[in-house]
Amino acid sequence: MDLGFIRASHTCRQWRRLLLSLSSLWSRHVFTFPQPAAVLAILERTRAAPLHMDRLYLRPQSLELLHEILPRTTTLDLSTQRSAVSLDGFTDVVRSLCTQAAPQLEYAKLVYEPLNGALLLSGSGASNQPPMSAPRLQRLTLINTFFPFELPSLTHLKLSWQPKPDARLPAASLLAGLRASPQLRSVEMSHSLSDGLLDESVATTPRISLPHLTHFAVKDEARLVFALAGLIVGSPELHLEAELVDDSPGGTAALEGLSHQFRRILAYGQSTALSISHADYFLKLKFLPIPPETPLHAAHATSPPLGGMQWQTRPAGPGLVATFSGRAWDQFADGEPGTTFRRLLRGAVRDLRAHERQVRALELLPRASAEPCATEWVECLAPFDSLRTLACAPAEELMGALADAEPELFLPRLAYLAVDVGEVMPGLQATRRSRAQAEEVRVLCAVEARAEAGYPLKRVRVEGDMDAQVLESLLARLRINVPYVEHFSNSTVQA
């Protein structure tokens, strides 16, 4: 903390007069010094300036004064770990925020950090805590703390709860707070949801319209995450990030909750991006308006990225970018390797096909030994009949499906292929070259087969680093059947 201006105020009378007149210098240090006389002296020097309580270290003797100056406070950052106040004193401060007027408050962060437990002020029952009302509050962070709120100017909300608390946030108070905060742009929640979200009365309530919400991150059980997500209609640019924490092996419970709730979310047509992560898999779906075909020389800088890759042309019309990846390929779920991933992929395809949107770009990230066989790949991917872009690892079964399946029935509109060959591993040159040669053959067979059948690819990108000689051979042979071939590595881009 820079307190040089205090020392400078004792240099000479002129400097002291100048520095004492700058009330904003003192407004951040009301409680910096423990002596009551010093606190009052600094408070007097702030005059009527807004007060900033950043990383506030509060002492018991200062509690009463804090209650008095809350109406002048612009920022409040209070933690029980940093302060010497008792938990009862901290609770009194939180109650004051709900009962006192705070017309200047723009930022508030309250952190309750006992070894166990949390501070939960209910909006119903005997205590009937009134909701916090701060007309200018834009950012609110509550860690192991919750109280009802009605904040019309709130743009950023973060709620974090202990992983396994004795009590969860009341669903009614949480939903009421979200509904009363229409300016929200970002919401983050961790272990905050309760079973009350599953009540029929909640499911039949009007959906919460948050037209400015672009970032919605939730970490909790799958059934609660999807129940909450199904109640919210956000911005057309909303990105929902769901981290599922179910303890069931292979994420079975998460998958069971995925199909029904996932369909509800897609039905709104609001979410432009959906990321679902679990210990066994990761799923990302991104809706985006894909521009019409653009001249090759003009589109490179403006085309949207796909998994770190940028294409120089994109198909016309609205579309969907889907990313599937995860450890589930190598997991033994239901007694068979890869079962979880296959169920996820098939279920997502079935849900997507229930809507008018067509998947235009698909990214398959995992590289694992227990991948689906070629027949399963055809079964899973055949419904993507509008697919134009495919990004994947050159896995044997997937490349085999591209080479052997009839292109008029299997991905007939596929025009852009990106293969991720990974990185060179020092000390394993012989093994790496053998693997690279096998990948070269797979990719070439797939590309040549589609070209011979009258369904040639427009562009192929090889991403990553493989044996230099094999890479050069692969790029040269690809150019025979593909108009545009490019190589992308972490260090260089070569066309």
DSSP string, 305-328: EETTEE-S---SEEEEEEEEE-GG
Average pLDDT over residues 233-252: 67
The CA-based dihedral angle spanning residues 109, 111, 117, 123, taken in that order and rounded to the nearest 10 degrees: -20
160: amino acid identity, one letter? S
For residue 321, pLDDT beyond 90: no
Within 13 Å, how many C-alpha atoms sit on residue 404's CB side?
A: 12
**Closest listed residue to residue 382, CA positions, set 354, 409, 413, 406:** 409
With a pLDDT cut of 70, the percent of the chain lying above it is 60
pLDDT score of 413: 87
Q: Which segment of 52-56, 72-76, 130-134, 144-148 scores lowest on mean pLDDT?
A: 52-56
Q: What is the pLDDT of residues 186-238, one digit of tens each?
A: 999 998 888 888 888 887 888 899 999 988 988 888 778 878 888 888 887 77
Q: What is the mean pLDDT of the chain?
A: 71
Classified as helix, coil or strand, 397 is helix
pLDDT score of 359: 59
Q: How far is CA 71 from the centre of its chain?
A: 35
pLDDT score of 86: 73
Q: Which helix (H) or strand (E) holds 111?
A: strand 107-111
pLDDT score of 189: 94
| Distance from C-alpha of 53 to C-alpha of 73, rounded to nearest angstrom | 7
Residue 350 or residue 201, greater confidence? 201
**Per-residue confidence band for 430, with pLDDT thresholds at 50, 70 and 90:** low
**Per-residue confidence band for 389, with pLDDT thresholds at 50, 70 and 90:** confident
Domains of the chain: 280-495 (3.80.10)
C-alpha distance from residue 321 to each of 38, 144, 151, 280, 315 (Å): 60, 36, 35, 21, 12
Phi/psi for 439 (5° steps) reads -65, -40
**Among the residues of 315-458, which ranges form H helices?**
339-353, 374-381, 396-404, 429-452
Burial class of residue 30 (count of CB atoms within 10 Å of its CB; 0-12, 13-18, 19+) = buried
**Per-residue confidence band for 301, with pLDDT thresholds at 50, 70 and 90:** very low
